[in-house]
């Protein structure tokens, strides 16, 4: 029975950590996109506290662009051999 080794050489180790980043990324993005929940609404706060639409747009789309860039970077580094990761839980 082939057993997965406890410790890995540097390359495989790096690859595993990149896959960890792939798994972690959606949660990070979710947290960032839920930040607008903290913004005050026009009804409940003074008007100068209201977040202008341009700021909101920049924030939401900024995260979007960063997410795509991060996703692309991770994909470019992890795409080649998919074989061993299929088994990792």
Q: Output b/e per residue, 60-75; b: 16+ Cβ within 10 A.
A: eeeeeeebeeeeeeee
**Nearest distance from residue 46's CB to other proteins, in Å?**
12
Nearer to other proteins, 9 or 88 (CB): 88
Minimum distance between the CB of residue 7 and other proteins, rounded to whole angstroms?
21
Longest dimension (CA), the chain: 67
Q: How far is the CB of 5 from other proteins (least distance, A)?
A: 16
User: Please, what is the minimum distance in Å from the beta carbon of residue 12 to other proteins?
Assistant: 18
Residues that bind other proteins (CB under 8 A): 1, 19, 22-23, 25-27, 29-30, 33-34, 36-37, 39, 41-42, 50-57, 60-61, 64-65, 67-68, 71-72, 74-75, 78-79, 82, 86-87, 89
**Measuring CA to CA, which residue among 36, 37, 27 is closest to residue 62?**
36
Residues 6+ apart with CB under 8 A from 42: 50
């Amino acid at each position: 029975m082939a057993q997965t080794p406890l410790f890995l050489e540097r390359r495989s180790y790096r690859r595993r950590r990149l896959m960890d980043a792939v798994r972690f990324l959606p949660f990070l993005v979710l947290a960032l996109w839920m930040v607008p929940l903290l913004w005050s609404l026009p009804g409940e706060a003074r008007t100068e506290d209201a977040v202008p639409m341009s700021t909101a747009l920049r924030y939401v789309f900024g995260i979007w662009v960063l997410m795509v860039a991060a996703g692309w970077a991770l994909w470019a580094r992890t795409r080649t051999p998919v074989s061993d990761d299929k088994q990792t839980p």
